[in-house]
Amino acid sequence: MTSKERRPYDATGRQARAVRRRDDILEHARALFIADGYAPTTVAAIASASGVSAETVYKSFGGKPGIVRAIFERSLLGSAPSPAEERSDSAQLQAPDARALFHRFGELSGEVAPLTAPVMRLIREAAAGGDSAMSALLHDVESERYDRMRHNAEVLQSRGFLGAGLSTEHAADVMWFYTADDVFHSLVVSRGWSLEAYADFIANALASALL
């Protein structure tokens, strides 16, 4: 085979290995952060648990704040093959009525909250401890969460699903409140509610407050 006949380089395998390595780092980092806390967990410990060098971790995430953000963003995807946000958008377009949509919101909350709530508590505790990077991350993720709730509220309004006189701002605030990690932690972690009971609570609370 001449040089002109050589097959083009296929980077698919290399990219797949990079994705698996990134996922593996995040999995080990999550376990360490949740078990030991933000400050005691070092990049070196994450690298050792993941079987890579600390340099690889830094190159991939830029340090601990970047790792925590990546863990949180990954948690937002949920546990199904397709991202939870995409499934939420689909439900908002296809739900036959408001109660069906709120039921779907509850189901998605019951799926995503167990993944995101521990990370949010990690961020809050680190921010409360004076870590400026975690304070900035807390501001970012809460702002992004509110923006998402505002988007949901606008869809509710456009479909005529909001009660008379309710503004999108009010609806966004209500959804932002009920999907907070503190609500999940209080009911599921502290009081021992099942995820099904938590999901039903979210659905019914949203329906009661917004219909």
Residue 29, classed as helix, strand or coil, is: helix
**133 shares a domain with 93:** yes
Query: What pLDDT sits at residue 20?
Result: 86
169 and 110: one domain?
yes
The CA R_g of the chain, rounded to the nearest whole Å, is: 21
Q: What is the largest CA-CA distance in the chain?
A: 74
Q: How confident is the model at residue 6 (pLDDT cuts 50, 70, 90)?
A: low
Q: In this structure, are 102 and 193 located in the same domain?
A: yes
pLDDT, residue 13, reads 72
On the CB side of 79, CA atoms within 13 Å amount to 10
**90 and 194 share a domain?**
yes
Do residue 143 and residue 45 come from a single domain? no
Same domain, 101 and 191: yes
Q: What is the DSSP letter of 134?
A: H
The DSSP line for 112-127 is HHHHHHHHHHHHHHHH
Q: What is the pLDDT of residue 19?
A: 80
Please check whether residues 111 and 43 belong to one and the same domain.
Answer: no
Determine, yes or no, domain membership for 1: no
Quote the domain boundaries for residue 189: 81-210
Query: What CA–CA distance (Å, rounded) separates 185 from 147?
Result: 22
Q: Say yes or no: 85 and 127 in one domain.
A: yes
pLDDT digits (tens, 9 = 90+) for 132-152: 999 999 999 999 999 999 999
Q: Which of 153, 123, 116 is nearest to 138 (CA)?
A: 123
Q: Categorize the per-residue pLDDT at 4 as very low, low, confident or very high, splitting at 50, 70 and 90.
A: low
Domain count for the chain, please give it.
Answer: 2
16 or 53, higher pLDDT:
53
Q: How far apart are CA 97 and CA 49, in angstroms?
A: 48
Give the CATH number of the domain where residue 22 resides.
1.10.10.60
Quote the pLDDT of residue 9.
53
The DSSP letter of residue 81 is S
Tell me the pLDDT band of 5, cut-offs 50, 70 and 90: low
116 in a domain, yes or no? yes
* Mean pLDDT rounded to a whole number for the chain: 93
In a domain, 72, yes or no: no
Tell whether 183 and 88 lie within a shared domain.
yes
Please write the tens of the pLDDT for every residue from 83-118. Answer: 999 999 999 999 999 999 999 999 999 999 999 999
Same domain, yes or no: 198 and 96: yes
Higher per-residue confidence, 55 vs 5: 55
Q: Do 111 and 171 have their domain in common?
A: yes
Helix (H, G, I), strand (E, B) or coil at 7: coil
Is residue 70 within 8 A of residue 24, CB to CB? The reply is no
Q: Residue 12: is its pLDDT beyond 90?
A: no
CA–CA separation, 59 and 148 (whole Å): 30
Question: What's the whole-number mean pLDDT along residues 5-33?
Answer: 80
Would the pLDDT of 11 be above 80?
no
Query: Cα-flanking dihedrals φ and ψ of residue 78, to 5°?
Result: 85, -165
CA dist 98 and 79 (Å) reads 25
